[in-house]
Amino acid sequence: MNLAPERLRGMASALLEARNVPSAHARLQADLLLEAELRGLPSHGLQRLPLILSRLDKGLADGQARGSGTWRRRSFLSVDGERGLGPVVLMHALEAMRPIVCETGIAIAAIRNANHIGMLAYYAEAAAKSGLIGIIMSTSEALVYPFGGTQAMLGTNPVAIGVPSGDQPFVLDLATSIVSMGKINHHAMRGMPIPLGWAVDAEGRPTTDANAARTGAIAPFGGAKGYGLGLAIELLVSALTGSDLAPDVRGTLDDIHAANKGDLLILIDAAAGDGSVRSLASYLDHLRGSHPSDPASPVAVPGDGARQRRAATERSGIELPQPLLEHLLALEAA
Amino acid sequence: MNLAPERLRGMASALLEARNVPSAHARLQADLLLEAELRGLPSHGLQRLPLILSRLDKGLADGQARGSGTWRRRSFLSVDGERGLGPVVLMHALEAMRPIVCETGIAIAAIRNANHIGMLAYYAEAAAKSGLIGIIMSTSEALVYPFGGTQAMLGTNPVAIGVPSGDQPFVLDLATSIVSMGKINHHAMRGMPIPLGWAVDAEGRPTTDANAARTGAIAPFGGAKGYGLGLAIELLVSALTGSDLAPDVRGTLDDIHAANKGDLLILIDAAAGDGSVRSLASYLDHLRGSHPSDPASPVAVPGDGARQRRAATERSGIELPQPLLEHLLALEAA
């Protein structure tokens, strides 16, 4: 059964508000989850809501907190997230940075003690739509093995980059793992196997069993280079936020521990640069029109697929896995 | 025949000084090329020197220029490289940024009209050794095809990240192509084939012929994700420096055109953050000690291999391809 996005958005907001989350914060958290669903990224969608609710119930997330920032330097904001909801703390920091970015051209926020910030594209797009270049990085529990290794030692350490480029900003959002743990959970929840090469089991052996992968480790994307990038993000985030390193991180996949990963947000005023938004947009169109390797699949720009899926899902509605839908309906009825 | 690094360093410096390059600039450019040779990255080593000399001879590079910077905002330095040698302009910008970074915590330089900056690790390491986080990006001629495409539309768009982490800073340096064009040139120069999957020929067909690859296009690393990262770098650099986009870039592989690619340098004061250098160093050691997939190959951290190769080459000397050595000796005798 497909449900209208507005129905699910209202349900998510109401469930959050019922846990003492102020309406504006609830709408923001719900919007982030719905945007992930709409863009075909269910691993970062409503599947995460029950955990968020449980964390609120247990005091591991504080729905009212927006995070408390200190300007350590003119363009360096240090943020204690105070257990706030990830999107609330992130967007609050982003808004606090705007006037500084316009003045200094670039600013950074180093955020600790915030809950899971979800789909990073959300923030990169918010920045780029308002004329700012946005670079967002985040860490996680140790889920990824190093290139040449077998043990989970790194987070999935995603990075998103948003660049103003005409009507549709360029938005890249990638985990430095070959897949997100959310996607492996999604396969496990639906009883689907995973492709060989995605993960190893707890003994370090390659596996196609999504459940075995959950206790093992995920491969980095792109071999040594992707591993290097993920490791650089691990170090950058921890060096600047003081957050724990992956083997000690907890709290984005459980409802037992406080979230002790970190998040970085770098904003750059695109207007300070010498480039032209029009030439970027025209280049991206040139790229889309270049010869594809498969004539049936035109070359795409990151974000194109998400926009197409979003438009289609707006029309068709969202189909949730039955157990998740039943769980949410039961929570709503409680 | 292996040559002592100091012999080659002196030769490179002298060849540059003979073309009216001030001694300090010549030593810096020579040091960059030698560091690449020492670290086993010949594609960015002395193989590039004849082209640099020819560009100086033709006025496409100005050995005296250091670039002219304008602070567009408090932390945003716009640099016209004035056809200066890449490392001279880059290091000059880095030094100009130091006092600002200490004051504002983060600063960015957007550089256009500089010549090829070579091995990016050099700058990331220079930053990290002095307590700064350094992020460097650069663009190039269109050499890389988009994921799902067949035409050279993107630069090899490398990124380097340096993070202070104890005695040995963490230094990542990667091209977003599966290999650098320098490495393909290196194979072509030695008459070696390239692995399938590295490149397509001018008609978009996969090839193992290094010469055919030079007129074709290189694959992005890591599929769609590596393509996305390379494209993000393409847009970031052009948006902020006003440099041309890959299909219009010239001047890093020829001695006909001015260099119209761009370079970005972001510096962050690690001391503004809450992290501990000691915990980063200890984590990296923990990573090196984790279970390898092949018991004979311990897990490595980016930069480990370069350090080992550097130490070995310092002892053994540098072996240049015979044609290159003869060319350099002839230039020296001229």
Same domain assignment for residues A24 and A109: yes
Q: Which residue, of A234, A250, A272, is where some domain finishes?
A: A272
- Angular region, A203: left φ>0, alpha ψ -120 to 50, beta rest: alpha
Between residues A190 and B58, the one the model is more confident about:
B58
Residue-wise pLDDT for A189-203, tens only, equals 889 999 999 999 999
The CATH number assigned to the domain holding A168 equals 3.30.1370.60
Same domain assignment for residues A95 and A202: no
Residue contact A78–B226, C-beta within 8 A: no
Q: Are strands A262-269 and B318-319 parallel, antiparallel or unpaired?
A: unpaired
Residue contact A108–B104, C-beta within 8 A: no
Could you list the residue range(s) of the whole structural domain that residue B198 is in?
178-219
pTM value? 0.97
B185 occurs within a structural domain: yes
Name the domain count of chain B: 2
Same domain assignment for residues A213 and A153: no
Q: What is the mean pLDDT of residues A207-215?
A: 94
Interface test with A, best of B132, B268, B280, B297 (most A CBs within 10 A): B268
B91 occurs within a structural domain: yes
Same domain assignment for residues A51 and A184: no
Nearest CB to B291 within list A149, A229, A272: A149
Same domain assignment for residues A65 and A208: no
Which residues numbered 256-275 in A keep a CB inside 8 Å of some CB on B? 266, 268-270, 272-275
A304 occurs within a structural domain: no
Reference B217, options B142, B157, B158; nearest CA is B142
DSSP assigned state of B1: -
Shortest Cα distance, chain B CAs vs residue A194, angstroms: 18
Residue-wise pLDDT for A155-168, tens only, equals 999 999 999 998 89
**Which pLDDT score, from 0 to 100, does residue B166 have?**
84
Q: Which amino acid makes up residue B85?
A: L
Residue-wise pLDDT for A46-98, tens only, equals 999 999 999 999 999 999 999 999 999 999 999 999 999 999 999 999 999 99
Q: Which residues of B touch A226 (CB under 8 A)?
A: 221-222, 225-226
Q: What whole-number distance in Å separates Cα of residue A314 and Cα of residue B52?
A: 56
Same domain assignment for residues B189 and B231: no
Residue A277 has pLDDT above 90, yes or no: no
Same domain assignment for residues B132 and B265: yes
B201 occurs within a structural domain: yes
Same domain assignment for residues B151 and B188: no
Residue A182 has pLDDT above 80, yes or no: no
Q: What is the mean pLDDT of residues A279-305?
A: 96
Mean pLDDT of chain A: 96
Same domain assignment for residues B195 and B265: no
Q: What whole-number distance in Å separates Cα of residue A259 and Cα of residue A275?
A: 39
Residue contact A273–B107, C-beta within 8 A: no
Residue-wise pLDDT for B288-332, tens only, equals 999 999 999 999 999 999 999 999 999 999 999 899 999 999 999
**Which pLDDT score, from 0 to 100, does residue B47 have?**
92
B153 occurs within a structural domain: yes
Q: Which residues of B touch A102 (CB under 8 A)?
A: 73
A226 occurs within a structural domain: yes
Across A40-54, A173-187, B99-113, least confident range: A173-187
A109's CB contacts (< 8 A; 6+ apart) are A69, A77, A78, A79, A93, A94, A96, A97, A264, A265
SS (H, E, C) B290-324: CCECCCCCCCCCCCHHHHHHHHHHHHHCEECCHHH
Contact between A122 and A136 under an 8 Å Cβ cutoff? The reply is no
Residue contact A73–B104, C-beta within 8 A: yes
Q: Which residue, of A272, A293, A312, is where some domain finishes?
A: A272
**Which pLDDT score, from 0 to 100, does residue A262 have?**
98
Residue B165 has pLDDT above 80, yes or no: yes
**Which pLDDT score, from 0 to 100, does residue A189 have?**
81
Q: Which residue, of B233, B249, B272, is where some domain finishes?
A: B272
**H-helix or E-strand spanning residue B22:** none
Q: Which residue has the tokens 């719900």?
A: A30
Same domain assignment for residues B207 and B251: no
The CATH number assigned to the domain holding A202 equals 3.30.60.50
Mean pLDDT of chain B: 96
Residue-wise pLDDT for B130-162, tens only, equals 999 999 999 999 999 999 999 999 999 999 999
Same domain assignment for residues B157 and B74: yes
Which residues numbered 84-113 in B keep a CB inside 8 Å of some CB on A? 102-108, 110, 112
B73 occurs within a structural domain: yes
Q: How confident is the model at residue B262 (pLDDT cuts 50, 70, 90)?
A: very high
Same domain assignment for residues B212 and B247: no
**Which pLDDT score, from 0 to 100, does residue B180 have?**
81
Residue B173 has pLDDT above 80, yes or no: yes
B208 occurs within a structural domain: yes
